[in-house]
Amino acid sequence: MKAIGVIRTSRRERVRREEFEELLRSAGYEVLTIIEQSRRENSKYNIGPGKLKELRELVETYRPDRVVFANRLTPGQAYNLWKELKVDVIDRWQLVLEIFERRAHSKEAKLQVELARLHYEVPLVKEAIRRMKLGDRAGFKGMGEYQTQQYLKHIRYRMGRIRKELERVKKDREVKRKRREEVGFILLALAGYTNAGKSTLLNALAGEEVEARNQMFTTLDTTTRRFKLGGKRVLLTDTVGFIDGLPPFIVEAFHSTLEEITKADIVLLTLDVSEPWGEIMRKFRASINVLRELKTLDKPILIVLTKRDLTVEEDVEDKKRRIREAAEETAINAMAVVSVSAKFGQLEELHEALEDVILTLPKYRLFRVSVGDPGTVPQVVALLNSIGEILNISYGEETIIDAYVQTGMMRELTKLGVKIEPLNKPHHGEELEHDERDEDGGQGCGHPTEQDVPHNGPLNPLTDQQTNTDDAAND
């Protein structure tokens, strides 16, 4: 389809031409031309009368299928423009919905897109009914007054049905999420502006090959993959990308998808570090606004600067420093700012930051585990490595292990016949009190080595620690 684009800017409303052109291409339009105007919004046409005349002439010359505004149009403006131009007129958010319709594959994503589209149509249909009652034979999509009123009833009925279906999806996902937490998974969620490299990062972290393209809104379907980080089991979920000024009706329609962010233990907020600083800050603010709307700013957030291979090290370090300052001013719970190149597998900073942050989560507590049966020590060590982190191990008549452990996994430990007592050091990073067993010849602080622990199963290649063969098979 062919389209003419229209951009109106003002002191209160900024629109980036490059992003608008990318949206048009992502929706499959051939862009014939784009006209721009800087002025306050005209209540009747959005643009001024002079620019409207110019636009009418361009429509007569190019014969486009549609005129697409980069700004949000009121129902009245959309109708007035259609009446003047005699061609379909849509705005930025209808354009975004068209992209969503092209990208949606799963049943859930298609339902969410349909709900958002129906949300968008309600005020348009109401405007058509209002005009018909005033004697204007406007209709909606060529329908008469009775048909338009019936269509409005259908929209409301259909929206109710979709909400019920999405609620069922939400409940099913909640059951699965709870089960994953019960078996010791750490839940991570990728969030950030569209085309910031989230899917590529998921592929690099989890060793997957989900679709990742240099285009807007590649991911609409919720994608969850698992991997191991230092022996800990992790689930990473990719979510729909954000965009500047994301309207409430889209946030509401995609709530079941965006809810993955609200339920995550840690949010990975991605920003493209190769972009100019002004663009990074614009997208950072837009992302923070969505996270604020989702009420997730108090969650642990790791800010991940992606695509560092596209710029120089000095630029990366400077932007990391400035992002830290911006995060402090925004008062979000930013635990660290790291840079990665997912394309080339350069993830060391992210791995280290994740391991540090994971042990600060409320689900982790410091416990002393006493193992009386030497034969079960390898199994206990393997389990502790998969659900926490061993800080100190001492051998004697009893093997005493101090470790951070997920509180939800205590049942699995007790099945092995160990004794467990909490230590008064709930926060990661604090040193343990002096252990008298060290003076009796027991091993001091540190992880058990391959020589220390008799083999009952293979060593985990990520941690050089023994893993339980049955547990690894069930992972």
Helix axes 92-103, 17-26, angle to 10 degrees: 40
Given a cut of 70, is residue 222 above it in pLDDT?
A: yes
Q: Which residue has the higher pLDDT, 318 or 252?
A: 318
pLDDT at 465: 36
Q: Rounded mean pLDDT of 440-446? A: 40
CA angle 243, 249, 251 (to 5 degrees): 50
Q: Per-residue pLDDT tens for 86-140? A: 999 999 999 999 988 888 888 888 998 999 999 999 988 888 888 777 666 655 5
3-state helix, strand, coil in the chain (%, to 5): 45, 20, 30
Q: Which strand (E) or helix (H) includes residue 161? A: helix 145-182
Q: Rounded mean pLDDT of 197-219? A: 80
Q: Which residues contact 9 (CB under 8 A, 6 or more apart)?
A: 15, 36, 37, 38
| Residue tagged 């700004």 (tokens) | 71
Kindly write down the DSSP assignment for every residue of 186-239, as one continuous string: EEEEEEEBTTSSHHHHHHHHHT------SSTT---S-EEEEEEETTEEEEEEE-
C-alpha 323/C-alpha 329 separation (Å) is 10
Q: Residues, the chain, total?
A: 475
Q: Per-residue pLDDT tens for 20-54? A: 999 999 899 999 999 999 999 999 999 999 999 99
Phi-psi region of 36 (alpha: psi -120 to 50; beta: other; left: phi over 0): beta
**Whole-structure pTM value:** 0.76
Looking at the DSSP assignment, which residues form a beta bridge with residue 190?
Answer: 238, 268
Given a cut of 50, is residue 466 above it in pLDDT?
A: no
Given a cut of 90, is residue 195 above it in pLDDT?
A: no
Q: Which strand (E) or helix (H) includes residue 126? A: helix 107-133
pLDDT at 402: 93
pLDDT at 138: 59
| Cα–Cα separations (whole angstroms), residue 357 to 205, 348, 352 | 17, 14, 9
Q: Which of 224, 212, 231, 241 is nearest to 187 (CA)?
A: 224
Given a cut of 90, is residue 218 above it in pLDDT?
A: no
Q: Which of 283-287, 351-355, 416-420, 453-457 has the lowest mean pLDDT?
A: 453-457
Lookup: tokens for 208: 């997957």
Burial code (b: 16+ CB inside 10 Å, e: under 16) for 441-465 equals ebbeeebbeeebbeebeeebeebeb
pLDDT band at 387 (very low <50, low <70, confident <90, very high): confident
Query: In whole numbers, what is the pLDDT of the chain averaged over residues?
Result: 83
